[in-house]
């Protein structure tokens, strides 16, 4: 019996030791996750939206066109519609039309062959800059809308418009990483990280014309707020947006090799986070300055509004008095101002200080 009790005690001690070790390992892993997450937050999604990545991926997937690839390009090979952007117009590259073309390429292939070649052809196109259209456009209508948007909407040119109506592999990957980061943050109740990722997704989706990420962001935000009942603080969203904006600027302006730009972006965003966004003294000073500017603007607005109101009142009163002084005596016969007016009065009659001439 004594041996059994010692064995139970030994198991209990070991179990508690294992639990303590596991708890420490979990805390250490969470600490490492937060370090890496903070390091890469705001740089990963802008990095994946860089067009140079598509040049790299296209060089890997590029090969001799198969019969199935040529089937997708059938209309372009016949008419050369759209040139380099022909996928938007040739009716063979949106997901549904592409399947019809693949299915009708050969009469003797199996369903498995069709599925494998469909995925292969789609993947080749997804890893290029042109990507795939969400649906096929009639070229005349497309050109009309593209011209209107490029003329009427600032910073939207025809390239951006094309990108807005198409998608590529890295846009899907970037969106997936953003969604996974949010749900991982939900699992760990990291509301700060959730808000920062949402801010980063917002900036990246706009800068890279990624409608998939924009739509995903809407659903993710609704899920976080209305289903999980989490509060999204605007300050944390702004931090994520600022970090991503810095990354987007670096990838857009420098023109260096992609990995060099990535290293620079990580270093710069880390410095911005530590020295600016997490510097409480600096942020409080900025917040105070913003509040003072808002108060000054409000005071100026009130002053201008009051001045305009007084001017309007004076002008209105002056015009009213001018009109009133011209009113015929007969119009005041029924006005009771302490006494009735009589037509037998003098040519000038006073009514409560107002002189009216007959």
Predicted confidence (pLDDT) per residue in 159-218, tens digit: 999 999 999 999 999 999 999 999 999 998 889 999 999 999 999 999 999 999 999 999
For residues 272 and 294, state if they share a domain.
no
For residues 216 and 80, state if they share a domain.
yes
pLDDT the model gives residue 351: 45
For residues 45 and 164, state if they share a domain.
yes
**CA 347, CA 12: separation in Å to the nearest integer?**
117
In a domain, 124, yes or no: yes
**CA 239, CA 199: separation in Å to the nearest integer?**
7
For residues 132 and 260, state if they share a domain.
yes
Residue 172's SS3 state is helix
Classify residue 341 by its DSSP letter.
-
CB-CB contact of 125 with 115 (8 Å) = no
CA dist list (Å): 51 to 42, 55, 104, 154, 209:
17, 7, 33, 21, 12
For residues 243 and 297, state if they share a domain.
no
For residues 99 and 245, state if they share a domain.
yes
In a domain, 344, yes or no: yes
Number of domains in the chain: 3
In a domain, 300, yes or no: yes
In a domain, 70, yes or no: yes
Q: What is the pTM assigned to this prediction?
A: 0.73
| Phi (first) and psi of residue 133, to 5 degrees | -75, 155
In a domain, 29, yes or no: no
Domain range for 144 is 41-278
Q: Could you report the per-residue pLDDT of 239-294, keeping only the tens digit for each?
A: 999 999 999 999 999 888 999 999 999 999 989 988 888 877 776 776 677 777 87
What residues contact 75, with CB distance under 8 A and at least 6 apart? 81, 86, 90, 91, 92
């Amino acid at each position: 019996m004594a041996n059994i009790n010692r064995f139970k005690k030994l198991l209990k001690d070991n179990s508690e030791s294992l639990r303590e070790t596991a708890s420490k390992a979990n805390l250490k892993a969470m600490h490492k996750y937060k370090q890496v997450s903070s390091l890469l937050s705001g740089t990963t999604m802008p990095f994946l939206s860089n067009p140079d990545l598509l040049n790299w991926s296209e060089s890997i997937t590029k090969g001799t066109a198969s019969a199935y690839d040529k089937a997708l390009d059938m209309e372009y090979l016949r008419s050369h519609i759209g040139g380099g952007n022909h996928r938007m117009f040739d009716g063979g590259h949106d997901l549904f039309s592409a399947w019809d073309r693949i299915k009708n390429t050969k009469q003797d292939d199996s369903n498995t062959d069709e599925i494998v070649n469909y995925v292969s052809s789609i993947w080749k196109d997804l890893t290029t800059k042109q990507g795939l259209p969400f649906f096929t456009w009639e070229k005349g209508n497309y050109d009309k809308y593209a011209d209107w948007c490029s003329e009427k909407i600032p910073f939207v040119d025809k390239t951006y418009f094309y990108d807005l109506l198409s998608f590529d592999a890295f846009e899907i990957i970037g969106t997936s990483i953003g969604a996974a980061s949010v749900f991982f943050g939900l699992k760990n109740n990291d509301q700060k990280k959730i808000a920062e990722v949402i801010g980063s997704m917002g900036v990246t989706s706009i800068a890279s014309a990624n409608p998939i990420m924009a739509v995903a962001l809407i659903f993710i935000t609704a899920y976080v707020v209305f289903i999980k009942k989490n509060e999204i603080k605007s300050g944390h969203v702004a931090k994520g947006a600022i970090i991503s904006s810095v990354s987007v600027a670096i990838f857009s302006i420098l023109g260096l090799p992609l990995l060099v730009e990535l290293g620079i972006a990580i270093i710069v965003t880390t410095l911005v986070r530590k020295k600016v966004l997490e510097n409480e003294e600096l942020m409080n000073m900025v917040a105070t300055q913003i509040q003072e500017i808002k108060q000054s603007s409000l005071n100026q607005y009130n002053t201008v509004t009051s001045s305009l109101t007084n001017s309007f009142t004076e002008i209105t009163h002056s015009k009213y008095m001018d009109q009133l002084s011209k009113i015929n005596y007969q119009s005041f016969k029924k006005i009771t101002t302490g006494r009735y007016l009589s037509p037998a009065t003098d040519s000038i009659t006073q009514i409560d200080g107002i002189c009216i001439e007959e």
